Structure 1
Amino acid sequence: MGERFGCYRDPAPAPGALWLHAVSLGETRAAAGLIEALRARQPDVRLLLTHGTATGLEAGRTLLREGDAQAWLPYDTPGAVRRFLAHHRPTLGLLMETEVWPVLQQAAVRHGVPMVLVNARLSERSLRQGQRLRALMQPAARSLALALAQTEGDAARLRAMGVMRVEVCGNLKFDMTPPEALMTQGQAWRQQWQGGLPRPVVLAASTREGEEGPLLAAWRSLPVPRPLLLVVPRHPQRFDEVAALMCADGWHLLRRSNWGHTPPPMAGDVDVILGDSLGEMPAYYAAADVALLGGSFAPLGGQNLIEAAACGCPVIMGPHTFNFAEAAELALQAEAAERVTSMQDGVARAVQLATSRQVQSEMSQRSRAFATAHRGAAARMAQQILALSGTAIR
């Protein structure tokens, strides 16, 4: 809490670090490729990583080297921000994706710290919301020295919001490589769950509130024997809620949190596995034949499908993917994903794919090829960042 208010017990670190803010787990994992690219070009770069969630902080620890620092992002108040900047004295600030902090950004400019929005994205909906809050958001947009956008559409919307300089570099998430250990772990889980029987596995990935009920209703309408259903809610605070929903609906449930490295011997009557863990999404994709994209079956904008593609897991998405519109469209064009209009249709198509080994295998290969074809954003962003910073980062 002290760090949230810009109060620190430890002595101030040496000035001049490159400050990167990655709010949570997803942003921190995406930032790993950028950090690697920055260090490849400037090996002596020192980092200050800040976060807004415990999962982001934990993931960020694995990216630190000697001389780096890590802290909580201060609250966006004048006093907290002023104390944060005075204590850490970074030379350049990087905000990931959609992070906008008006007080922090204005204070950074006054302290001579250029701010860059990296892997930047802005949906049409967010642009409209920002324009309604023009008095607050436009100065924040104009305070950015640079925005490194994922797509041309994002770039156009960022300029419309008021960002003066925008470059299109692609999406960092294409540069994420699924950890081999997690992929192996997921494949081992699958073998354990199947018990030697060819039972397909359908994953509902990063589900959001309001999606599990229609999912379970559609699943119940399937003929028996059904494939194994693996459900991974997007937010950990909903794990118990989703488990209670499944049990109340009469499903036989196995929870990831109830086993260690190896699942227990699984009785044949287990209907659903609840993926109530953090940081294991590649393992879940590796265990599945096909994934239903959470957040896309309710009007929530969808979740990132790039990680699924990199793991070779075909994706069935609903009608709502406005948060990742271009990635979704590119995946459709590459035949690495399919779109349906409802959860009922999504479940039917997912089961059809999961039980058609040849079709599933071909789509899995196209998914990996799609992910590989769009790599390179980390190198492009690192070049832009270091050109902006000059030789100041030490």
Structure 2
Amino acid sequence: MPILIKTYRTVTSVLEPAVIGLLYWRQRQGREDRTRLGERRGYPSRQRPKGHLIWVHGASIGETLSLLPVVERLTQRGLSVVVTSGTRTSAALIARRLPPGAVHQFVPVDVPRYIRRFLDHWRPDLALVAESEIWPNTVFALDERHIPLVMVNGRMSDRSFQRWQKLPRIIGTLLERFALCLAQTSDDAVRLARLGAPRVLVSGNLKFDSPPPPADPRVVAHLSGLIAGRPVWLAASTHPGEENAIIAVHRALAQRHPHLLTIIAPRHPHRGPEVAALAERAGLRASQRSNGIHPDRATDVYVADTVGEMGLFFRLSPIVLMGGTLAPIGGHNPIEPAKLGAAILHGPHVHSATEIYEAIGKARGALMVKDSASLARAVSELLGNAALTRDMARAAADAVQALGGAVDRTMQSIEPFIVQAKLGARR
């Protein structure tokens, strides 16, 4: 075992009291659920169901939601599933959408005692982790108990690959303990194999198979009625720095498009007051969804700062700018608005979802903008040309549909492990 991994395992054990302090600090910051803080230390809040159980983990919202079709297939096979994630937002969303036979827990922090406590209670027959979640203590604990570990929807960006190449023994030691890595793309597969993963297959991106986020039809109809006749566009999953550009676009277009309504959904809903204040300082009238206020004819900027309602806002707007693309974040997943009939706009920073943006762009369902000026021109053109907006939306939806099938390929690949679980066998 490399010395750095040994050091990591020792340090995380010795500094356990500091980890507890960090958790309480995060709780005071609103980043941890006070009533479920014990789960982060491996204490269960639910009973383990009888029979065979699969542990499925996604770090946050996107990863967790992409796993839902796999979770549903597993429960349909008669297996119980414990789904873990690490953020309050993902927990709130996933709790509403899990099928019968699956429960949610917060993932324990990667401290040896916390992981042991978690595994002692849940006793999984198989562990599936999404994308690039590689926590050393968790990997070794599963390996020591002979619990197969499979990476699903695996990603290894070029940036991460370059970093890991500087630590080849560490990443190789960890990846060799994965029974299987299912990569999103051939590029991801090559990088994982070069870093030491012994068995890698390409299964595609599970997010293409994820169902679009739900919305209450009555709420959709009500808000659609309130904004009927108004030009509307949505900036989704925005980050600091992007909202200023979006507000500038609204101001630039307001005279050309009377009664324009700009909806801003910050990536982190707790930033709602901050975003509303930015709009107010720019001389615009803003209201926040979290305050229970609906947009009226005088509302310029509507801040969608609630959890679990993106399906509503994607259905309200025919034009969607994806956040994290104007700021150097890497771009958030445009699949959901594409499935719900929106024309997609994005900035130049899309390295976290290159394949998706390239596919939609090649089909002419998405348009790249570089700054607030080019964004204003694109929004204005789409607002003034309904036929172009419809054509882009249709192209985006078709491109996403054509890239589906990852769930079927994933289930076929993990079938041997499911058979082992049902037979009560271990690797």
- Fold in common (TM above 0.5): yes
1-structure distance, mates of 2:98, 2:343:
33
What whole-Å deviation, never above 9, does each CA across 1:112-161 have from its counterpart, x for those lacking one? 11111111122211222333454543322222211111111221222233
Task: Report whether the alignment pairs 1:240 with 2:276.
Answer: no
Runs of 5+ in structure 1 lacking a partner? none
- 1:35 corresponds in structure 2 to 71
SS in structure 2 at match of 1:390 = helix
Q: Highest relative contact order (Cα 8 Å, sep 6+), 1 or 2? A: 1
Q: Which of 325, 337, 348 is 1:296 aligned to?
A: 325
- 2:372 corresponds in structure 1 to 343
Runs of 5+ in structure 2 lacking a partner? 1-36
- After superposition, residues 1-394 of structure 1 pair within 5 angstroms as 1-8=37-44, 13-14=49-50, 16-40=52-76, 42=77, 44-64=78-98, 68-134=102-168, 136-179=170-213, 181-182=215-216, 185-186=219-220, 188-194=222-228, 197=229, 199-222=230-253, 224-226=255-257, 227-259=260-292, 263=294, 266-267=296-297, 269-393=298-422
What whole-Å deviation, never above 9, does each CA across 1:89-132 have from its counterpart, x for those lacking one? 10110111232211101110111111111111222112223334
2-structure distance, mates of 1:118, 1:33:
12
2-structure distance, mates of 1:215, 1:389:
48
Following TM superposition, by how much is the alpha carbon of 1:163 offset from its aligned partner in structure 2, in angstroms? Answer: 1.8
Q: How many residues align?
A: 385
SS in structure 1 at match of 2:421 = coil
Contact in 2 for aligned 1:202/1:351 (Cα 8 Å): no
Contact in 2 for aligned 1:187/1:283 (Cα 8 Å): no
Q: Which residue identity does 1:4 align to in structure 2?
A: R
Per the alignment, do residues 12 and 186 of structure 1 end up closer, same or farther by CA in structure 2, a change over 3 Å counting? closer
Following TM superposition, by how much is the alpha carbon of 1:356 offset from its aligned partner in structure 2, in angstroms? Answer: 0.5
2-structure distance, mates of 1:15, 1:54:
29
Per the alignment, do residues 183 and 98 of structure 1 end up closer, same or farther by CA in structure 2, a change over 3 Å counting? farther
What whole-Å deviation, never above 9, does each CA across 1:160-211 have from its counterpart, x for those lacking one? 33222111111111112225644674454233123xx3x2211111111211
Per the alignment, do residues 229 and 69 of structure 1 end up closer, same or farther by CA in structure 2, a change over 3 Å counting? closer
Following TM superposition, by how much is the alpha carbon of 1:293 offset from its aligned partner in structure 2, in angstroms? Answer: 1.4
SS in structure 2 at match of 1:230 = strand
Q: Which residue identity does 1:114 align to in structure 2?
A: P
1-structure distance, mates of 2:412, 2:199:
15
Per the alignment, do residues 65 and 34 of structure 1 end up closer, same or farther by CA in structure 2, a change over 3 Å counting? closer
SS in structure 2 at match of 1:221 = helix
Contact in 2 for aligned 1:236/1:277 (Cα 8 Å): yes
1-structure distance, mates of 2:335, 2:150:
23
**RMSD in angstroms over aligned alpha carbons?**
2.3
Segments of 4+ moved more than 6 angstroms: none
What whole-Å deviation, never above 9, does each CA across 1:279-335 have from its counterpart, x for those lacking one? 111211111121111111111111101111111111111111000011111111111
Per the alignment, do residues 178 and 66 of structure 1 end up closer, same or farther by CA in structure 2, a change over 3 Å counting? closer
Per the alignment, do residues 130 and 343 of structure 1 end up closer, same or farther by CA in structure 2, a change over 3 Å counting? farther
Per the alignment, do residues 191 and 10 of structure 1 end up closer, same or farther by CA in structure 2, a change over 3 Å counting? closer
SS in structure 2 at match of 1:392 = helix
**TM-score, length basis structure 1:** 0.90
Q: Percent identity?
A: 35
